[in-house]
Structure 1
Amino acid sequence: MTPNDELRLLPWSGPDGKPCFLSSDDANSFLSRLADNAEENQLGSGAKILDEALTVLTDPVMDPEELRLLASDLTRALHDAIRVATSRGRRLPYPAHRAHQEHGPCVPAPPS
């Protein structure tokens, strides 16, 4: 199965919290572009939260409530980043390491 035959995991969940998927062979469709933009926003937000975390964690007197909020934000950002990575990974060309898993390692033939 090629990556284009698979459903695309979207960067948002349905109302019941279950994952949403897109079936499209057009990477430039409206929903595909919307998903691309949402992924970029999620990754950008995660980078900002990480910068904030580095600042907060250098403060020797951290407010416990601020630390809990930061942990919550970091958890959400990590969840989003993993979802983006999973979605993008599924759309990559069939990786060579997967072929090795299914058919065993590929060893080059000795020189003639």
Structure 2
Amino acid sequence: MSPAQFFKCLSDETRLRCVALLQKQGKLCVCELTAALDLSQPKISRHLALLRQCGLLLDSREGQWVFYQINPKLPDWAFPILVNALTAIEITGQFQNDLERLHHMENRPEMAACG
């Protein structure tokens, strides 16, 4: 992945919010990201597919859920950028709202079926 591809992937606000939550939480299901960002499932899925195609995210099926996480095989230069971006994003009201919605989500995948 080139730096230009990396930054292009993160240049969209929805994708950046997804990556920030994944950086903070480790891995999340599509339904968790949908609830946290308060956006439609098709919109979140479309952005996750783009992030997966560019190599920034990996997906894995666990039972009936598909979880996403940051690709651990990203170039070494990418990780400090993600850490610094998360540090900057964490102080925003929007990120705090996203986390709040995530933490208050009912029926999270580890507890029940994810629609």
Q: TM-score range by the shorter chain?
A: under 0.3
> Structure 1-normalised TM-score?
0.27
> Structure 2-normalised TM-score?
0.27
Structure with the higher strand share, 1 or 2: 2
Which of these two proteins has the greater Rg computed from alpha carbons?
Answer: 1
